[in-house]
């Protein structure tokens, strides 16, 4: 079953493009990555899912119900953590969290205490006395305290130190194992790589691709690094499937996608000192998509 | 109910400050009364010696300074002015605060509809207005009773003082409408001060012009204190107009806010 289904979702702010014809779906129980550079439209998509903004055209459903029409009903089972967190400045952490809990039925308020312990957060401090990272922790707890079936994270890790990020990822994994579906938006690829199964890549407001992270890394691309003894013949590798070709003194780098035997044939007779064939990082694949898109 | 409680809690301090200020304005004027009470007839004569246009511009044409209530009306005008600013402030800020303080991403992703949030916030404003009026009514009743040497018309006193309630509700609903109509509000006070003073100036202008149509523009004219003391009642046409306008403002507030995009931070 699909928890989120987005269908040709388009949002214009006046003449300014937000997103255009975004379509993808998130299955129940998965951790779905949503990745793209800043300003690509990740937040716009998420804000439309939460009916904070109204789409210009297209539609989206969560739990099979229209996001705008059944917004308040759907949001009972959603936990949301925005990229920047702001709370009522003059309230104490505990008060904000209790206020948050008061919107849901049957909330186990002892969860506030236990989550605060895990995240190492003082519940008796005032919001305006908190550091940015600590405010983020308040955000995490208010997003998780009602045990949501769908967790939406919009660039969640900013402001958290590496140790806290680790704890946060563990929390998300535990929630996921307990049945929660996760939509994880980020522009940091290693995060997505660590956590997600599938990923949608967005650029300039349109979805470039939806892919399984393993397929993306393993089956499609190899990263070649060749150390030459003599002069490099760049044109020798001018064949289909080679991209991101760069020369760095006596070293040649490129990505290759296609029949590996053709590459082995091509490599024969090359005067090499060393050769390295690796799985490319998501970052490199990502860059590659973008460059391909940019070509006229 | 949780939203209502939260709103009342957050508005508590401001409400106390405003109540104290309104009482302050009132007592500032009223405390002058004992010291000038004996000379009031002389004041009256001085005013009457002015050309009539001049009297109207000053708002003293119909002034009967001889009684405590006419002096009270004079003081109440400034309470109405300040109370209008207070109410408009509340109206403009109650919804827009969530955007300005960037807490909208917290509140509007909770499982409540926008209409429910708006109703609770409007209810919170109404309760604060009622509290303000109760405080002002009690304080002025005490002041007028203490200062007056002989009996006064309690009904007229009530009619005069209750006009604060109507004016505040008008400006609060206007403020609500303005806050959802404008795309983004950075500061509240300039908007509410500006709007209230424009209406007040129109009212002062109309004191001289006595134009019936112009009188329909400013809510300060709907509850013209000297008219009230003449007729011992609110004008029914003005009351109807007040009711329709408040209704339209509230309706549009719900309508516009339900469709509004909340800007990301």
Task: Tell me, yes or no, whether A110 lies in a domain.
Answer: yes
Inter-chain contacts counted by CB atoms under 8 A, chains A and B: 63
Residues A104 and A153 in one domain: yes
Residues A138 and A271 in one domain: no
Residues paired with residue A26 on neighbouring β-strands, in sequence order? A4
**Per-residue pLDDT, A295:** 47
Task: Tell me, yes or no, whether B264 lies in a domain.
Answer: no
Whole-complex ipTM? 0.85
Task: Tell me, yes or no, whether A241 lies in a domain.
Answer: yes
**Per-residue pLDDT, B58:** 66
Rounded alpha-carbon distances, angstroms, from residue B123 to A200, B209, B251: 44, 38, 14
Chain B residues lying within 8 Å of A53, measured CB to CB: 261-262
Structure token digits, residue A64 = 């099979």
Task: Tell me, yes or no, whether A295 lies in a domain.
Answer: no
Q: Give the nearest partner residue to A54 out of B102, B109, B261, using CB atoms.
A: B261
Q: Which pLDDT tens digit goes with each residue over A59-101?
A: 999 999 999 999 999 999 999 999 888 999 999 999 999 999 9
Residues A86 and A124 in one domain: yes
Low-confidence ranges of chain A (pLDDT < 50): 294-296
Looking at CA atoms only, how far is residue B113 from chain A in angstroms? 5
Q: Which pLDDT tens digit goes with each residue over B144-198?
A: 998 887 788 889 999 999 999 999 999 999 999 999 999 888 899 999 999 999 9
Q: How far does chain B reach from its first CA to its final CA, in angstroms?
A: 27
Question: Which DSSP category does B209 fall into?
Answer: H
What count of other Cβ atoms lies within 10 Å of the Cβ of residue A218? 12
Count the domains in chain A: 2
Numbers of helices and strands, H then E, in chain A: 10, 14
Residues A95 and A36 in one domain: yes
Structure token digits, residue A47 = 């804000």
Residues A66 and A146 in one domain: yes
Lowest mean pLDDT among A227-231, B104-108, B113-117, B121-125: A227-231
Q: Is the pLDDT of residue B254 over 80?
A: yes
**Per-residue pLDDT, A240:** 83
Q: Select the residue from B104, B105, B117 to test the A interface by mutation, using most A Cβ atoms within 10 A.
A: B105
Q: How confident is the model at residue B230 (pLDDT cuts 50, 70, 90)?
A: confident
Interchain CB distance below 8 Å, A72 and B104: no
Structure token digits, residue A103 = 């919107």
Q: What crossing angle do the helices spanning B2-30 and B114-147 adopt, rounded to 10°?
A: 30
Residues A193 and A264 in one domain: no
Interchain CB distance below 8 Å, A86 and B261: no
Domain that holds residue A266: 222-278
Looking at CA atoms only, how far is residue A66 from chain B in angstroms? 14
**Residue B48 or residue B139, greater confidence:** B139
Q: Which of A212, A232, A265 is the last residue of a domain?
A: A212
Task: Tell me, yes or no, whether B193 lies in a domain.
Answer: yes
Chain A residues lying within 8 Å of B99, measured CB to CB: none
Q: Select the residue from B104, B109, B263 to test the A interface by mutation, using most A Cβ atoms within 10 A.
A: B109
Chain B residues lying within 8 Å of A87, measured CB to CB: 103, 106
Domain that holds residue B120: 2-258
Task: Tell me, yes or no, whether B265 lies in a domain.
Answer: no
Structure token digits, residue B59 = 């708002």
Task: Tell me, yes or no, whether B26 lies in a domain.
Answer: yes
Q: Enter the pTM of the model.
A: 0.84
Q: Give the nearest partner residue to A86 out of B103, B110, B262, using CB atoms.
A: B103
Task: Tell me, yes or no, whether B263 lies in a domain.
Answer: no
Residues A244 and A188 in one domain: no
Question: Per residue in A247-266, is it b (16+ CB within 10 Å) or e — as a string?
Answer: eeeeebebbbbeeeeebeee
Q: Give the nearest partner residue to B109 out of A13, A80, A99, using CB atoms.
A: A80
Task: Tell me, yes or no, whether A115 lies in a domain.
Answer: yes
Residues A154 and A252 in one domain: no
Task: Tell me, yes or no, whether A89 lies in a domain.
Answer: yes
- Cα B149 to Cα A21: distance, rounded to the nearest angstrom: 78
Q: Is the pLDDT of residue B59 over 70?
A: no
Residues A116 and A263 in one domain: no
**Per-residue pLDDT, A219:** 55
Q: What value does the mean pLDDT of chain A take? A: 88
Residues A200 and A235 in one domain: no
Count the domains in chain B: 1
What count of other Cβ atoms lies within 10 Å of the Cβ of residue B209? 13
Identify the CATH number of the domain in which residue A195 sits. 3.40.50.300
Question: Per residue in A30-49, is it b (16+ CB within 10 Å) or e — as a string?
Answer: ebbbbbbeeebbbbbbbbbb
**Nearest to B175, CA basis, from B244, B89, B262, B255:** B89
Q: How confident is the model at residue B63 (pLDDT cuts 50, 70, 90)?
A: low
CB B199 within 8 A of CB B80: no
CB B250 within 8 A of CB B126: no
Q: What value does the mean pLDDT of chain B take? A: 89
Task: Tell me, yes or no, whether A251 lies in a domain.
Answer: yes
Q: Which of A182, A212, A242 is the last residue of a domain?
A: A212
Residues A7 and A136 in one domain: yes
CB A19 within 8 A of CB A10: yes
**Nearest to B64, CA basis, from B47, B83, B87:** B47
Share of chain B above pLDDT 90, in %: 60
């Amino acid at each position: 079953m699909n928890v989120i289904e987005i269908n040709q979702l388009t949002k214009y702010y006046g003449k300014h493009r937000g997103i255009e014809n975004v379509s993808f779906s998130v299955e129940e129980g998965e951790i779905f990555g949503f990745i793209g550079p800043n300003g690509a439209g990740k937040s716009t998509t998420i804000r439309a899912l939460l009916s904070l903004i109204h789409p210009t055209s297209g539609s989206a459903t969560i739990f099979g119900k229209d996001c705008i029409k059944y917004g308040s009903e759907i949001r009972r089972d959603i936990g949301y953590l925005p990229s920047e967190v702001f709370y009522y400045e003059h309230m104490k952490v505990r008060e904000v969290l209790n206020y948050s809990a008061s919107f849901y039925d049957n909330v186990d308020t002892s969860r506030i205490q236990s989550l605060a312990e895990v995240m190492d957060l003082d519940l008796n401090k005032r919001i305006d006395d908190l550091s940015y990272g600590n405010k983020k922790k308040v955000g995490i707890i208010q997003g998780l305290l009602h045990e949501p079936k769908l967790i939406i994270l919009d660039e969640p890790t900013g402001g958290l130190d590496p140790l806290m990020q680790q704890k946060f990822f563990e929390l998300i994994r535990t929630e996921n194992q307990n049945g929660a579906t996760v939509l994880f938006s980020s522009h940091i690829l290693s995060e997505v790589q660590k956590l997600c199964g599938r990923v949608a890549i967005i650029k300039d407001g349109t979805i470039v691709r939806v892919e399984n992270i393993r397929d993306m890394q393993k089956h499609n691309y190899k990263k070649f690094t060749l150390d030459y003894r003599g002069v490099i013949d760049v044109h020798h590798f001018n064949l289909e499937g080679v991209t991101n070709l760069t020369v760095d003194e006596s070293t040649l780098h490129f990505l290759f996608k296609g029949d590996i035997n053709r590459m082995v044939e091509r490599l024969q007779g090359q005067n090499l000192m060393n050769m390295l064939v690796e799985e490319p990082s998501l970052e490199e694949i990502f860059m590659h998509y973008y460059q391909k898109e940019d070509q006229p | 109910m949780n939203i209502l409680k939260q709103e009342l809690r957050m508005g508590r301090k401001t409400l106390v400050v405003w109540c104290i200020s309104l009482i302050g304005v009132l007592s500032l004027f009223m405390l002058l009364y004992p010291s000038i009470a004996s000379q009031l007839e002389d004041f009256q004569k001085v005013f009457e010696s002015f050309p009539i246009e001049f009297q109207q511009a000053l708002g003293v044409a119909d002034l009967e300074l001889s009684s405590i209530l006419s002096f009270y009306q004079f003081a109440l005008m400034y309470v109405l002015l300040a109370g209008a600013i207070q109410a408009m402030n509340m109206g403009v800020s109650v919804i827009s605060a969530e955007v300005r303080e960037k807490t909208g991403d917290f509140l509007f992703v909770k499982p409540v509809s926008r209409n429910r949030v708006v109703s609770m916030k409007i209810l919170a404003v109404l309760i604060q207005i009622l509290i303000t009026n109760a405080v002002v009514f009690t304080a002025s009743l005490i002041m007028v009773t203490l200062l007056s040497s002989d009996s006064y018309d309690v009904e007229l006193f009530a009619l005069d003082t209750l006009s604060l309630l109507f004016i505040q509700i008008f400006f609060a609903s206007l403020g609500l409408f303005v806050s959802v109509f404008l795309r983004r509000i950075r500061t509240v006070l300039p908007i509410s001060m500006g709007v209230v003073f424009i209406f007040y100036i129109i009212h002062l202008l109309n004191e001289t012009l006595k134009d019936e149509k112009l009188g329909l523009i400013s809510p300060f004219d709907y509850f013209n204190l000297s008219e009230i003391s003449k007729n011992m009642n609110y004008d029914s046409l003005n009351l109807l107009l007040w009711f329709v306008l408040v209704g339209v403002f509230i309706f549009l507030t719900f309508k516009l806010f339900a469709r509004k995009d909340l800007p990301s931070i």
